[in-house]
Structure 1
Amino acid sequence: MRRRRTVIYIIQIILIASLLFLFYFVTISDKNLFKQGFGKKIRNESSSSFSRQAHLLDNYCKFAWTEPMDNTLKKRLKFPKRAGCEKYNIDLFKRYPATGEFSMKSKAHRNKLECVAQVLKGGLRPAAHTYQLGKTQTFSPKLNKRFWINANNFILTCFSGQLVIYRKQFMGFKMDENLKLVVDGPFEIPEPKIPKFDSKQFSISILGLDSTSRAQFGRHMRKTTDLLQRMGSVVFEAYNKVGDNSAVNLIPILADELSETENMSLLDETGDVNLNKILPTKTPLNPDTIQWIWKHLPPEYITMFNDDVMHTSRGLFHYPPDNFLDGFGESPARFYYRPYYNHLYSQLSNCWRKCLDGELLAEVFIDSWFRFERIFSKIPHFGFTFISSLTHDDPNNLEMLDHTLFHRLGYLNVINFDPLVNQNVPLQRTGCLENTILIILGDHGNRVHPLNRYTFAGKIEERAPYLSILVPPRFRKLFPEKYRNLRENSQRFVSNFHVHSTLKYITSLSKNLESSRRSKSLFELQPMNSTCQDNRVISNHCLCMVDASQDISKVPNPESLEEVLRTYLADFNECFNVESLQCGNVTETLMPNNYVQVWARTKISDSEVVRKKERASAVRPKFNKVIYPYLTCNLQSKNGDSVEVFTQFRLIQLSQNITIPYPPRLSVNSSSQCSHFSFPTDYCNCVDLLLAI
């Protein structure tokens, strides 16, 4: 017995020693890899034409930036798990997400099942809210034998004798007029008619999420955010919506200037941005005559328009009725899915649900985007998908999409790592995004949930939608300066019009098109002095902050701010001599404008602003007590650099709670090898590398 214990003890020692050695080896390897990678970044940054890394605090517009987990949101936040959806249909078919093929998996009904495929049509003016049944074909599915449906919108109905045991609507692809409706065998991925992409030709994929802000995406889509970051996606930190609802925010992105507004003044009679210049309210527009961005594309491009309408009377560019005629008179794209949604929401009596027949509906809608990108990855294409129902009423519901979008992006991505384990593991890659520029965006933040109506951060989030742009490695190699500009512009104050100019630039690469006259592309360096008027943002949505000196109860104490900064810099104590920190007085104190503070979705009078503030203060004493003081300090780094630290603080006056919402901006003496870095993390990584050499 004693000998056995001794053997076990020796084995344990060997295992522990092996683990320690392995940990040491991995740590040293990771550190060496980091030094190599960051050293390359230093060389790239140094060799670029930029004197200094762009920073949010460079801008003339001091943007009201909020953290994903802002402490004013705490009581309103929820993190729902993936919905457990009840199934009421027999689980008859398996559908393959990447291709849309079906196979029967129910052994109970083999050899005695008869099914009917029916095409769904309609969804066009003058009856855009309806659908009609078209071509039909009867077939008998075989167990585990694949088939697919040659239609964009269709229903499958199956019978056991006279009893209907299965009925469901789907989105698909009508690939060939000459093929029958039900095609036996696997779906064949189409090969390009043109042998290879033009060297400057790129596909465009836009995935829109209704009522989704930058901060909301960050807190609820954590796995997806991490994956996008590792793929090289650029997130825009100061992206400001221009108007209130979906239509007024998506028209400037997807369409050229409207012919109805070309002769209108940019400013209204009050000197503010003219809303009618963006989207006229007294002239219902015909969506068929609008110059959509995809109308500029060469004929070989495949197009998709996929709008989750949420209600048969609504839908993008059908609603509101004051702005648009009742929908498209002709299909806006080759693949147009309004008939599917009309059938779906008619089935639901226009009452939205998270689930339908065992599935989270938003995942079904995401899969139509995913399938389009998978199937047409080798062919030039433009896809627009907009998912409304999950997040329109409750911003917390976005959490339920994280798992699916993470895995779908992981399948499509071309970067050589395993997204499940976050390691550089060689995998068989689909390469579906190697020719595609992927844009994920929100039209605006949530506008109706209590989180956004009654919290300080929520009112800001409503005006700061999510925007990320992922360009493939091929684009980065062809246009390295354009990619650097894109990254720099992530810190600049921009709006919807810049996204349109970016789309125009992409479409012009292989076709000589006139650039947008309304703004510069995000592939061009944006100015630091842009205002809301410059970016065509209406004042009640503008997040450029204003002077708070007339509204504050007392001037912020610079010593209290300095103490918070010292605590913040303590995380970088191997880089900075924090004891050398010296600060002056508060340089300015700002706050969001009155329209933002009182949640004004439309322009209101000054007297109405005062009335709303007084009423809110009476109901909620903490209302309108958040300010942003700014402080300039100086300190020394461990390698002898003189560093100026410009910091934006966030102060709740009632509690005197002080935080630093955004990393301070560093200005380093020009003789330093690390002088071009503005963010503490990047600068300190540079210093660490230099000290280690």
Structure 2
Amino acid sequence: MADKRPLLEYTDDEAKDCATESTLTGVSYKPGASPTLIWYCRQIVLRRKLLVGLLVIFVFSYFLIGPADVLDLENVQVHHQSYALDMEVNQTIDQRTTILPQGYLVYSNHCRIVDLDPYKRDVMRHFKRVSYKPCRSHPPLTHVHYNDTIQRYVLSINQASLKSYKVGNDLSCCYQGVVRASETDVNYTSCHAFKNEAKLANTTDSVVVKCKTNDDQIYINAHPTVPERKAIRQRLDQWAKKDRRKLVPSVLMIGIDSISRVNLIRAMPKTAQYLYDNDWFELAGYNKIDDNTFPNIMALMVGYNLSNAMKHCSPYKVNGLDKCDFIWKLFKEHGYVTAYGEDAVKINTFNYLKKGFQQPPVDYYLRPYLSAAEKLLGGNIVLGLPHCVGFETEAEHVYNYALEFAKRYRNDSFFGFFWTNTHSHSDISQTSSMDDYLRGYLQRLVSQGTMEHSIVVFFSDHGLRFGPTRATWSGHLEERLPFLFIWLPPFVRKAHPEFVQALRQNRNRLTTPYDLHITLKHILSLSGRIGSLESLGGAKDCPKCQSLLQPVTLSRSCEDVAIADHWCTCWAYGSVYKNSKVVRQLAKRVVNYLNDYVTTFRNGSLAHLCVPLALQSVSTAYKAQPNDNDPSHIEIYRLIFSTSPNKALYEATVRYNKNLPDEDNLLVTGSVSRLNTYNGEADCMNDFAIKKYCYCRHKGG
């Protein structure tokens, strides 16, 4: 009878019957061994062969493909449904919808946006998850909190933190206020000594704290505040009386630079999963309208395209931006308290190579505080941008200030716009370090009650514009498809179920920053403090755009919503021969277009600074496969080419009409994208509009 004992009950001597025979597996069996032991030996052989095989595959993959393409055990899959499931059908008897295969975010006869795989190999080989590292190993010695009774902030020494500092026989601390002198400078008040705590005056927005022991400075920190202002309180109270206890939604906008919708899923899966699991509304077909941050934010905040923004509120002119009709002005005029904060003061949206604001643009302006913090608190630089500033990353300074602003005015009506660059601007991977923080941040907004009365917009401006992933097809689409999520508080959902229905439908519609601009006006109209949405007007440079709280038609095309071909994601492209006669001619003409653009820019006043460019080579070329309703006589090409002497890599989208004469048959759409960095080669140029096309003459020798 066969031995039926469990395998673990075999003795060492019996197990030796699995004598060594193969150097690969080290396992076989002797004749006469029990059937169960024979089976056991065979299982060992199979398992060891399997393990050896997997090891060989892993080693082969690691060295042939690269470490980023091997299974990432830390990869967190995001479970969601953002692809298009339905397509509008012409009027039929039963109004049924057509079920489509997965793979599209938007699908219609006018626009088909592909649902990208976040984990494509050509992108993942450049992605590596970054861990979060605290800026300091010890806690700050001081903190501030708002005292509702006295309506002032109180600065306190945290007694529990004293043990982390080398405090001698005496500890002396003082604080000084930070006062805005201009967009680029701040002043400081005299340093006021305090012992355990100090009540801060409501005349300053932030303080710098210094502590000494035995004449040695052992501590420096800074704290931004949202102090009570008499004029602001009067404005809030006057409009609240007119509301007659009507609930008025506040608006909190949290924006992150250079993160595509796909990279949000890839790099911050916990944050993305939180959004999907907690009934935020995603606008998966959100398409940018221009190249970098400034024009996309101007479309959102003003309703202008870049050309009209330059014409009506040029950032190059003193007071130019101050004259602009930013949406926060409209909210302020109708009883809202306003705030704006942005990290990395040197590259702020309205300051990089620009004049900025001559007067604070909002009630609470974080720039002076961050200017002082960057100068005084110490920290480090990561990928060319400030990372740690004192005890926190600079992005955390902005996020925490937004949290405090929303907390301070939770019972009032507010509009807050907060933007971060530092953990996302320069690299596809760096923002992954903030995943846990941002998920926790959204939860903190819930716990302090902000989500009960506020419409929250969590969004980006575009995807990553530079680096090795940008030249891939995935990178091309990612750059044009930022993320956008909207939260509606319960009382708005209850009062307006049609908004819920519209946002769910609009998830898979082509949408733009112009639509978001009109949506903000729509939200303001809900307050009852202003006329109808129609009376507010739409987006000045997109007449066909609309509020996202209303159903967006599926039949939208990029042309309908003022998106140039170069930024449009609605077409599929097929590869064409890069050295064909047509492609080479088109590429040369695009280079001539760039030279002409630089030569004529600002009436030719800057042309002498730059060396003319020449076509070096065409890297790749693609031709659009038209949708059903696109004109057949127009061919759309996307070209990636390099130039000399600047060794630049550019991407251009052109419309080619072979039926027209040469002088009229080519149209460069949008602007020409620069795919590689140009730090150091265009230092002679301070205008961001042509900086990426200029190679300074002194560089050429």
Q: TM-score, normalised by structure 2?
A: 0.60
| Contact 2:257/2:425, CA 8 A, preserved across alignment | yes
Which residue of structure 1 lines up, in the alignment, with residue 17 of structure 2?
A: none
User: Over residues 367-414 of structure 1, what are the superposed CA-to-partner deviations in whole Å (9 max), with x where a residue is unaligned?
Assistant: 11122222222211000101111211113111122112211211222x
The one-letter code of the counterpart of 1:544 is C
Is 1:232 equivalent to 2:282 in the alignment?
A: no
Q: Partner of 1:10 in structure 2?
A: none
Equivalent residue of 2:220, what SS?
strand
Contact 1:255 1:500 survives alignment (8 Å): yes
Corresponding residue of 1:115 = 173
The alpha-carbon distance between structure 1 residues 135 and 201, as it changes in their structure 2 partners (threshold 3 A), is farther
Q: Which position in structure 1 is the counterpart of 2:142?
A: 93
| Paired residues of 2:206 and 2:224 also in contact (CA < 8 A) | yes
The whole-number CA distance in structure 1 between the counterparts of 2:575 and 2:613 is 18
Task: Write the letter of the residue equivalent to 1:307.
Answer: E
476-485 vs 285-294, which moves further? 285-294
Q: 2:538 is aligned with what amino acid?
A: S
What code does the residue aligned with 1:171 have? Answer: P
User: Corresponding residue for 1:495?
Assistant: 512
Cα distance change on mapping 1:282 and 1:173 into 2, 3 Å: closer
Aligned length: 480
Equivalent residue letter for 2:342: D
- Which residue does the alignment assign to 1:251? 298
Q: CA deviation at 1:538?
A: 2.7
- The equivalent of 1:333 in structure 2 is 362
What does residue 295 of structure 1 align with? 329
- The one-letter amino acid paired with 1:383 is G
- CA separation in 2, counterparts of 1:95 and 1:214? 36
Matched, 1:286 2:312: no
Aligned residue number for residue 11 of structure 1: none
Aligned to 2:692: none
Q: Taking structure 1 as reference, are residues 547 and 69 closer, same or farther at Cα in structure 2, changes over 3 Å only?
A: closer
Distance change in 2, residues 1:492/1:97 (3 Å): farther
Secondary structure in 2 matching 1:383:
strand
Q: Does 1:172 align with 2:189?
A: no
1:57 alignment counterpart: 107
Q: Give the one of 403, 415, 423 matched to 1:390.
A: 423
C-alpha distance 59-307 of structure 1, shift in aligned 2 (>3 A): farther
The answer to whether the 8 A contact 1:310-1:389 is kept is no
Matches within 5 A, 1:616-631: 616=619
Corresponding residue of 2:574: 548
Tell me the distance in 1 between the aligned counterparts of 2:220 and 2:525: 45
Deviation (angstroms), 1:160: 1.8
The equivalences for 1:461-472 within 5 A come to 461-472=478-489
Q: How does 1:498-509 map to 2 (within 5 A)?
A: 498-509=515-526
Mapped partners of 1:192, 1:85: distance in 2? 44
The alignment status of 1:527 with 2:553, answered yes or no, reads yes
AA aligned to 1:76 is H
Residue 73 of structure 1: how far off its partner (Å): 0.4
Secondary structure of 2:619 counterpart: helix
Q: What's the secondary structure of 1:341's corresponding residue?
A: helix
1:405 aligns with 2:405: no
Counterpart of 2:562 (choices 533, 536, 539) is 536
Aligned amino acid, residue 478 of structure 2 = E
Q: CA 1:616/1:235 → structure 2, altered by over 3 Å: closer, same or farther?
A: same
Secondary structure at the residue paired with 1:390? coil
**CA contact under 8 A between 2:315 and 2:356: conserved in structure 1?**
no
Residue deviations 1:433-469, cap 9 Å, x none?
Answer: 11101001111111123322x3221222111111111
TM-superposition CA deviations, 1:236-286 (whole Å, max 9, x none) = 21111111111111011111449x977xxxxxxxxxxxx968986987771
Q: Is the CA contact (8 Å cut-off) linking 1:378 and 1:432 kept in structure 2?
A: no
Deviations, residues 38-88 of structure 1 (Å, cap 9, x unaligned): xxxxxxxxxxx986499721361122442222232021111111124345x
Question: 1:277 and 1:97, CA in 2 relative to 1: closer, same or farther beyond 3 A?
Answer: same
Question: Equivalences for 1:49-198 in 2 at 5 Å?
Answer: 52=97, 56-58=106-108, 60-87=110-137, 91-93=140-142, 102-105=156-159, 106-107=161-162, 109=167, 112-122=170-180, 124=182, 128-134=183-189, 136-141=191-196, 150=202, 151-176=204-229, 194=240
CA contact (8 A) 2:268 2:434 kept: yes
Structure 1: how far apart are the matches of 2:97 and 2:613? Answer: 41
- Distance (whole Å) between structure 2 residues aligned to residue 281 and residue 50 of structure 1: 50
CA contact (8 A) 2:169 2:213 kept: no
Spell out the pairing of 1:282-681 with structure 2 (5 A cutoff): 286-297=320-331, 298-311=333-346, 314-321=347-354, 326-347=355-376, 352-413=385-446, 429-452=447-470, 454-509=471-526, 510=528, 511-512=530-531, 513-517=535-539, 518=542, 519-546=545-572, 548=574, 615-616=618-619
For the 8 Å contact 1:191–1:378, the answer to whether it is kept is: no
Q: Percent identity?
A: 22
Give the 3 Å change call, closer, same or farther, for CA 91–304 of structure 1 in structure 2.
Answer: closer
Q: Which amino acid aligns with 1:77?
A: F
Instruction: Give the structure, 1 or 2, with the largest relative contact order (CA under 8 Å, sep 6 or more).
Output: 1
Distance 2:95 2:403 in 1: 37
Code of the residue aligned with 2:142 in structure 1: it is: F
Question: Quick check: 296-305 or 229-238, which moved more?
Answer: 296-305
Check the 8 A contact 1:86/1:356 in 2, yes or no. no
**Are the structure 2 counterparts of residues 460 and 279 from structure 1 closer, same or farther at C-alpha, using a change threshold of 3 Å?**
farther
Deviates more, 1:226-235 or 1:247-256: 226-235
Q: Which residue of 1 aligns with 2:636?
A: none
Q: Aligned equivalents of 1:250 and 1:50: distance in 2?
A: 39
**1:585-623 CA distances to partner (integer Å, 9 max, x unpaired)?**
xxxxxxxx99xx99x999869xx99968x5425xxxxxx
User: 8 Å contact 1:261–1:277 — kept in the other structure?
Assistant: yes
Which string of whole-angstrom CA distances, capped at 9 and with x for unpartnered residues, describes residues 619-653 of structure 1?
xxxxx6999999xxxxxxxxxxxxxxxxxxxxxxx
**What amino acid sits opposite 1:139 in the alignment?**
F
- Which amino acid letter does the alignment assign opposite residue 158 of structure 2? M
Distance 1:334 1:552 in 2: 54
Question: Structure 1 residues 169, 449: closer, same or farther in 2, change over 3 A?
Answer: farther
Q: Which moved more, 1:455-464 or 1:78-87?
A: 78-87
**Distance of 1:103 and 1:147 partners within structure 2:** 12
- Assess, with a 3 A threshold, how the Cα gap between structure 1 residues 522 and 375 changes in structure 2: closer, same or farther: same
Structure 2 CA distance for aligned equivalents of residues 286 and 242 of structure 1: 22
Check 1:212–1:90 CA distance in 2 against 1; reply closer, same or farther (3 A cut). closer
Q: CA 1:193–1:117 in 2, change beyond 3 Å: closer, same or farther?
A: farther
Q: How far, CA to CA, are the matches of 2:561 and 2:141 in structure 1?
A: 53
Mapped to 2, the partners of 1:206 and 1:629 lie a distance apart of: 36
Distance 2:154 2:427 in 1: 30
Q: 1:340 to 1:149 in 2, by over 3 A?
A: same
With normalisation by structure 1, the TM-score equals: 0.61
Structure 2 distance, partners of 1:610, 1:246, is 28
Decide whether aligned partners of structure 1 residues 281 and 361 sit closer, same or farther in structure 2, where only a CA change above 3 A counts: closer
Q: CA contact under 8 A between 1:72 and 1:456: conserved in structure 2?
A: no
Tell me, in whole angstroms, the C-alpha distance in 2 between the residues paired with 1:97 and 1:335: 16
Is this contact kept in 2: 1:103–1:147, CA < 8 A?
no
Q: Secondary structure at the match of 1:288?
A: helix
Partner of 2:74: none
2:125 aligned counterpart, secondary structure: helix
8 Å Cα contact 1:59/1:492 also seen in 2 = no
1:437 is paired with a residue whose SS is strand
Q: Aligned letter for 2:284?
A: E
> Displacement of 1:136 after TM fit?
4.4
The one-letter code of the counterpart of 2:619 is A
The CA RMSD measured in Å over matched residues stands at 4.3
Q: Aligned pair 1:212/2:259, yes or no? A: yes
Instruction: Please tell me whether the aligned partners of residues 576 and 623 of structure 2 are also in contact (alpha carbons under 8 angstroms).
Output: no
Amino acid at match of 1:169: A
